[in-house]
Structure 1
Amino acid sequence: MPSALHTFLVFGIKQAWVCLFGGLMVALLVGTHLWYPADAVIPRYDVLTLSAVAIQILLVWLRLEEWDEVKVILLFHVAGTGMELFKTAVGSWVYPEASYLHIGGVPLFSGFMYASVGSYITRACREFDLRFTAHPPLKVTLVLSAGIYANFFLHHYWFDCRYLLMLGVAFAFRRCQVYFRIGSVYHRMPLLLGFFLIAVFIWLAENIGTFSHAWLYPSQMQGWSMVSIGKLGAWFMLTIMSYVLVTLVNRPRAPEPSN
């Protein structure tokens, strides 16, 4: 039992370390909501954008992220901003505050919220020395990822394919196990379970984000309420897409024979 508790504690500390970017962004959302002056010269959203840029520069300068990883994170930023422009245009959610640094009705800090997911996955691959067994081929995961991204847009005008895509993901990753190292020992879990747990934490972070009024769903305009548990499905799909983008740089590796 003491050994298991020690392993769990180390695992938690390492998890907090690898989601440094996301954790700092969530802290900024809450901190600026509670203490940033509403009548400040620089709007709150722009402070969030400038802070996110500073954090990204600092992570690279401290060599906590590599340039190849930054390129992937930039892809997250572009893909996320594109989705934000569409979703706000169709009224899925709104950004209620003013800003100078924005595209359409989307403040630029929003792209960094997506990028923080990419940052977490890329850093987790390195810090936990992730290894995989029975991993599906890249061409399969790329097709699933492209389908997931397209469905975020198309389901507003056509058939919603999310459940078919989820079935595809479940089939492709059904036998895949991820091995993660804590100390000198590797532990394993089904990768699908890992995807689900990441989606749960994103959903929790989204609740914090809406509580801080960084963005709001239509149902929250008259008063804050928890984000629907149904959003877990969307975040699960986003996690898959994010992971596949990361594999373009960090190709999945098999366990060493001794693992």
Structure 2
Amino acid sequence: MFPIYIFICLGLTQFIVLPVFDRYDWLLFFCMLMQVLMVRLGIESMDELKVITVFHLIGLVMEIFKVNMGSWTYPEEAFFKVYGVPLFSGFMYASVASYLCQFWRRFDVELMKWPSLFLTIPLAAAIYLNFFTHHYILDLRWILFVLVALTFYQAQLTFSVNRRHFKIPILMFFLLIGFLIWIGENIATFLGAWQYPNQHGSWELVHLGKISSWLLLMIVSFLIVANLKVVKSKIK
């Protein structure tokens, strides 16, 4: 619901000029309204809201860094804009967290042969840090992919749909969701959410190489949610 809602808002504000506020500020208002409604209507719990807020902050920090490194830009004006990044952008990361939390709860997700927290937490931290450090030192993403494969080659995810149980290797799950995020990125850039350097003149398909970036980001997102679920189950 949340990602689709964001796409709808992007589309409407792209073709309909709303009064008083800038487009990015309207998008922030719409995203905040959706988040409040989801909690008030019981679609999301307060615990899930806490996780989503963490994703919002993590995403916003990375956005500020990447924009100021010239990786992409938000060309339109906005009052609620920090170092070139409109605050609504954090909700795009939060929508991924929202999806993961909802998927986990509604489809009775269980993890099989899940590696130790002593492996998954440092790996998630290393992947996230590489988004920053590769601007200054060697990009380690392919080494990280190897480490991900070695860490999760046995791990599987099970879920239920209409009382039918399904099982999928976690590495395949990462790849599928990362690809879906890349498709979503193409929709978002087409609707003017942000621009890559090659899209300033006219819109172009986002480079296929970006799939590897979103795959790594998806892995970080899933590891945060999964590790929180693992820790919470042990506390219970």
Bin of the TM-score, shorter chain as denominator length: over 0.9
Distance 1:87 1:80 in 2: 10
**Letter of the structure 2 residue corresponding to residue 206 of structure 1:** E
Distance 2:24 2:209 in 1: 27
| 1:95–1:214 Cα contact (<8 Å) kept | yes
Give the match for residue 4 of structure 2: 23
Shift of residue 252, structure 1, vs aligned partner: 8.4
Query: After the TM superposition, which residues 183-222 of structure 1 pair with which residues of structure 2 at under 5 Å, given as runs?
Result: 183-222=162-201
Distance 1:31 1:204 in 2: 19
Unaligned stretches of 5+ in structure 2? none
Deviations 1:90-121 (A, max 9, x none): 10000010000111100000000011111111
The structure-2 alpha-carbon separation of the partners of 1:22 and 1:252, relative to structure 1 and needing over 3 Å to count, comes to: farther
Shift of residue 89, structure 1, vs aligned partner: 0.4
Deviations 1:190-249 (A, max 9, x none): 111111111111111110111011100000001100000100000000011101111243
Structure 1 residues 28-37 or 145-154, which shifts more? Answer: 28-37
The structure-2 alpha-carbon separation of the partners of 1:165 and 1:198, relative to structure 1 and needing over 3 Å to count, comes to: same
Shift of residue 36, structure 1, vs aligned partner: 2.8
Structure 1 runs of 4+ aligned residues shifted over 3 Å read: none
| 1:49–1:109 Cα contact (<8 Å) kept | yes
Shift of residue 26, structure 1, vs aligned partner: 1.4
Distance 2:208 2:231 in 1: 31
Q: TM-score, normalised by structure 1?
A: 0.87
Q: Does 1:100 align with 2:57?
A: no
| 1:45–1:107 Cα contact (<8 Å) kept | yes
Shift of residue 183, structure 1, vs aligned partner: 1.3
Distance 1:214 1:21 in 2: 16
The structure-2 alpha-carbon separation of the partners of 1:253 and 1:101, relative to structure 1 and needing over 3 Å to count, comes to: closer
Percent same amino acid among aligned pairs? 41
**Letter of the structure 2 residue corresponding to residue 215 of structure 1:** W
2:98 corresponds, among 102, 119, 135, to 119
Distance 2:226 2:17 in 1: 38
The structure-2 alpha-carbon separation of the partners of 1:168 and 1:179, relative to structure 1 and needing over 3 Å to count, comes to: same
Shift of residue 253, structure 1, vs aligned partner: 10
| 1:130–1:180 Cα contact (<8 Å) kept | yes
Deviations 1:18-44 (A, max 9, x none): xx111111111112112234xx32111
1:224 corresponds, among 203, 215, 219, to 203
Q: Does 1:66 align with 2:45?
A: yes
Q: TM-score, normalised by structure 2?
A: 0.95
Query: After the TM superposition, which residues 42-81 of structure 1 pair with which residues of structure 2 at under 5 Å, given as runs?
Result: 42-81=21-60
Larger relative CO (CA 8 A, sep 6+): 1 or 2?
Answer: 1
**Letter of the structure 2 residue corresponding to residue 29 of structure 1:** L
Distance 1:183 1:129 in 2: 11
| 1:93–1:217 Cα contact (<8 Å) kept | yes
**Letter of the structure 1 residue corresponding to residue 169 of structure 2:** P
Give the match for residue 216 of structure 2: 237
**Letter of the structure 1 residue corresponding to residue 17 of structure 2:** Y
Q: Does 1:129 align with 2:108?
A: yes
Give the match for residue 228 of structure 2: 249
Q: Does 1:109 align with 2:101?
A: no
Q: Does 1:35 align with 2:16?
A: yes
Give the match for residue 142 of structure 2: 163
